[in-house]
Amino acid sequence: MKRGNGLMAKLDGKVAVVTGASKGIGAEIARHLAAEGASVVVNYASSKEGADRVVSGITGRGGKAIAVQGDVSKQSEIERLFAETKRAFGRLDVLVNNAGIFEFAPLEGITEEHFHRQFNINVLGLLLASQRAVEDIGPDGGSIINVSSVVSLSPPAGASVYSATKGAVDAITKSLARELGTKKIRVNSINPGMVETEGVHSAGILNSAMHEQAIAQTPLGRIGQPADIARAVVFLATDGSGWVTGTTLPVSGGWPAV
Amino acid sequence: MSAKLEGKVAVVTGGNSGIGLATAKRFAAEGARVVITGRRQAELDKAVAEVGHGAIGVQGDVSRLADLDRLYDVVKEKYGRVDVLFANAGGATFAPLGEITEEHFDREFGINVKGLLFTVQKALPLFSDGGSIILNASIVSIKGMPAFSVYSATKAAVRSFARTWTVDLKDRKIRVNALSPGPIDTPGVDGLVNSPEEAQKFKEGMASQVPLGRVGSPDEIAKVAVFLASDDSSYVTGVELFVDGGMAQI
């Protein structure tokens, strides 16, 4: 794909897998990577309709994308996700570990299910996907981007398990950056604050006291949009960040980095 | 899509070599109108020619406030505003505790902290709301390396400025971020030691501690500066972005 000004798109010929990309931040990441020329695998767990919509949006603009179902917390489904990626596009350069869930619960409300549901998707799923992706990333290396959260840096009350999963993600990012550096695979976390997604809408957060508080605490005076996150993911996926690895990048309007 | 900094006015201090020069070149290639500073006129002239795209050079030392006034007088007259500022000018020398002199302290804080502070403050009357300020810090803001205490303290101060100025400038939506390079192959690094052989040894020693297995190049910092300068980072502010091949992250 050529950009309007004649500059080459930055991800021409590259292949990216985005987990949990049927809606919200993941869908926007898939669209942005495709707009830079990448062939994109839109992974989803349950919303085929959402994933198909993301794919047709991309292909309608002349991009390349396919939807592949798979629960990232199940090894056999991860295997199928990457096998289908290889079959469709023949290589792998970028993995965006975006699939994740958040559930808030005070200490007394924590159950085994609450713990395992979040750790299985947010942590185990990320490890399984990364493990399998490294097998397919070629000798020129690639980029793994973990969608973490500012809660790893400033954990809110009533969110200990969710915050712990994101703390684990940041630790895994640093460990894998060291482990995979010699393979020229960069590993970074991106740490969004509150972002206006379907999940935030359906949780009734928009225009609530929590929303107002987030705006008041954010120097840029608004909550994030999926595109804010997606543009930063494009940066971490491309050569522009070729010397960046093992880092955690807050994309949060200054909250709580200040 | 257009170039990322089309029509923006960008000031880069210490733009005559190394990271500053590489960044000025990237900014210009992305469509910015670039003004660079440097202390040595001959090198500055050479750098201006290398950057091209109508770049302007203003000779000056950021630790001298009169030089900064002269810089912004030129910017005001020529462009009337600043959209992007890369406060990059800085210096480093080794001195172990026990051998630190007042002169060493004053020189490093004078350029890296005082000079950087007034580089930003004096730009504010010209600064566009919604613009981007990038402070060149270093991984030493969070790392301890031998004989580097004064330099490291200056860079910890710079990282702190990114936090407080994010809040000070929030009503103007000006983003302020610290960019912290690891070891980069620049003339500044060569100047830290006494011979090319020592420089080579120093870089090899550094490379062995970097997950990506080498020292970085100035252009690898410049590309990240473009990200922080452009709308691609529109929701990124107050952060310290490490560009170090992973060295300080693990």
Of B1, B173, B210, the CB nearest to A3: B1
Q: Do A232 and B233 touch (CB under 8 A)?
A: yes
Of B26, B24, B30, B25, nearest to B7 by C-alpha is B30
Question: Do B237 and A220 touch, CB atoms closer than 8 A?
Answer: yes
Q: Do B249 and A4 touch (CB under 8 A)?
A: no
For the whole model, what pTM was predicted? 0.91
Distance CA B239, CA B231 (A): 16
SS3 A233: helix
A8 touches chain B (CB under 8 A): no
Q: What b/e readout covers A178-204, taking b as 16+ CB neighbours within 10 angstroms?
A: bebbeebbbbbbbbbbbbbbeebeeee
Looking up tokens 């299985």 gives A120
pLDDT band at A257 (very low <50, low <70, confident <90, very high): low
Residues linked to residue B136 through DSSP beta bridges, in sequence order:
B179
pLDDT value, residue A7: 53
3-state secondary structure chain B: CCCCCCCCEEEECCCCCHHHHHHHHHHHHCCCEEEEEECCHHHHHHHHHHHCCCCEEEECCCCCHHHHHHHHHHHHHHCCCEEEEEECCCCCCCCCCCCCCHHHHHHHHHHHHHHHHHHHHCCHHHEEEEEEEEEECCHHHCCCCCCCHHHHHHHHHHHHHHHHHHHHCHHHCCEEEEEEECCECCHHHHCCCCCHHHHHHHHHHHHCCCCCCCCECHHHHHHHHHHHHCHHHCCCCCCEEEECCCCCCC
Beta strands A142-147 and A94-97 are: parallel
Please give the angle made by the CA atoms of B184, B15 and B63, to the nearest 5 degrees: 100
Of A49, A50, A45, A41, nearest to A18 by C-alpha is A41
SS3 A111: coil
Q: How far is B130 from chain A (nearest CA, A)?
A: 10
Question: Which DSSP letter does residue A92 get?
Answer: B
What was the ipTM of the complex prediction?
A: 0.85
Question: Do A158 and A105 touch, CB atoms closer than 8 A?
Answer: yes
Residuewise pLDDT in 10s, chain B (250 residues): 469 999 999 999 999 999 999 999 999 999 999 999 999 999 999 999 999 999 999 999 999 999 999 999 999 999 999 999 999 999 999 999 999 999 999 999 999 999 999 999 999 999 999 999 999 999 999 999 999 999 999 999 999 999 999 999 999 999 999 999 999 998 877 888 888 888 888 889 889 999 999 999 999 999 999 999 999 999 999 999 999 999 998 7
- CB-CB neighbours of B125 under 10 Å: 10
Question: Which DSSP letter does residue A2 get?
Answer: B
B contacts of A178 (beta carbons < 8 Å): 211, 246, 250
Q: What is the pLDDT of residues A143-170, one digit of tens each?
A: 999 999 999 999 989 999 999 999 999 9
Q: How far is A172 from chain B (nearest CA, A)?
A: 10
Looking up tokens 């640093």 gives A174
Q: Cβ neighbours of residue A128 under 8 Å, at least 6 residues apart?
A: A72, A73, A75, A78
Q: What is the pLDDT of residues A186-196, one digit of tens each?
A: 999 999 999 99
Question: Do A252 and A192 touch, CB atoms closer than 8 A?
Answer: yes
Mean pLDDT of A239-258: 91
CB pairs under 8 A between A and B: 130
B16 touches chain A (CB under 8 A): no
B225 touches chain A (CB under 8 A): no
Q: How far is A250 from chain B (nearest CA, A)?
A: 7
Looking up tokens 């203003």 gives B58
Question: Which DSSP letter does residue A123 get?
Answer: I
Give which of B6, B236, B243 to mutate to test A binding, by max A Cβ within 10 Å.
Answer: B236
C-alpha to C-alpha distances, B183 to A118, B155, B243, nearest whole angstrom: 38, 14, 9
Distance CA A27, CA A99 (A): 11
Q: Cβ neighbours of residue A245 under 8 Å, at least 6 residues apart?
A: A177, A181, A186, A187, A188, B211, B212, B245, B246, B249
- CB-CB neighbours of B48 under 10 Å: 22
Distance CA B96, CA B145 (A): 10
Give which of A140, A179, A244 to mutate to test B binding, by max B Cβ within 10 Å.
Answer: A244
